[in-house]
């Protein structure tokens, strides 16, 4: 999938198939992947997000970006990442998602985790994370695994947000 049509990249909304399926690993970090990261950065910042995964822009690849301060300078790229919890402690904090607009719900996530990924230069790195960084990593990692907050929310939240989820499904057009 090295020929990505960058111009077609835009926020993909729930319940799009690309959001529901596990993403494919990236074989080569080439100029197309670099352009994808630039496009993802622009889309994320325009939409005031702090993280964005490939499937969220219609590209089923194992890549995501995070910028906790929502700036271009703060962007960190994660290619073919693995995210694993480093604690059993969980917390439940309200999250939103660019692909599931107008839905904010409490999601249970591990307080701390570890990420191992490759950067745009092809270097593998490992980092420990906690707080918002750990939450963002787990959220974006869900996306490349085929999950959204709509899949993670509890039954009470699903009932509370049923009208918006139904509206998103109704307005979704398969391409």
Which amino acids are annotated catalytic?
140
3-state secondary structure of 53: strand
How far is the C-alpha of 170 from the C-alpha of 126, rounded, in Å? 41
From residue 116, alpha-carbon distances to 67, 79, 119, 130, 161 in Å are: 17, 9, 10, 15, 34
How far is the C-alpha of 95 from the C-alpha of 71, rounded, in Å? 19
In sequence order, the 6+-apart residues with CB closer than 8 A to the CB of 171 are 13
In 3-state terms, the chain is what percent helix, strand and coil (to 5)?
35, 25, 40
Burial class (CB in 10 A: 0-12, 13-18, 19+), 96: middle
């Amino acid at each position: 999938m090295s020929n990505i049509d960058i111009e077609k990249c835009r926020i993909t909304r729930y319940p799009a198939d690309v959001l529901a399926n596990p993403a494919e690993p990236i074989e080569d970090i080439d100029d197309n992947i670099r352009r994808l990261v630039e496009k993802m950065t622009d889309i994320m910042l325009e939409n005031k997000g702090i993280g964005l995964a490939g499937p969220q822009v219609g590209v089923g690849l194992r890549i995501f970006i995070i910028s906790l301060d929502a700036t271009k300078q703060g962007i960190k790229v994660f290619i073919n990442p693995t995210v694993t919890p480093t604690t059993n402690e969980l917390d439940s904090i309200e999250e939103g998602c660019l692909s599931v607009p107008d839905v904010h719900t409490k999601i249970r996530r591990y307080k701390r985790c570890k990420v191992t990924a490759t950067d745009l230069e092809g270097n593998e790195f490992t980092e420990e994370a906690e707080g918002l960084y750990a939450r963002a990593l787990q959220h974006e990692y869900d996306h490349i695994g085929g999950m959204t907050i709509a899949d993670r929310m509890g039954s009470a939240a699903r009932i509370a947000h049923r009208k918006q989820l139904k509206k998103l499904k109704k307005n979704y057009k398969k391409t």
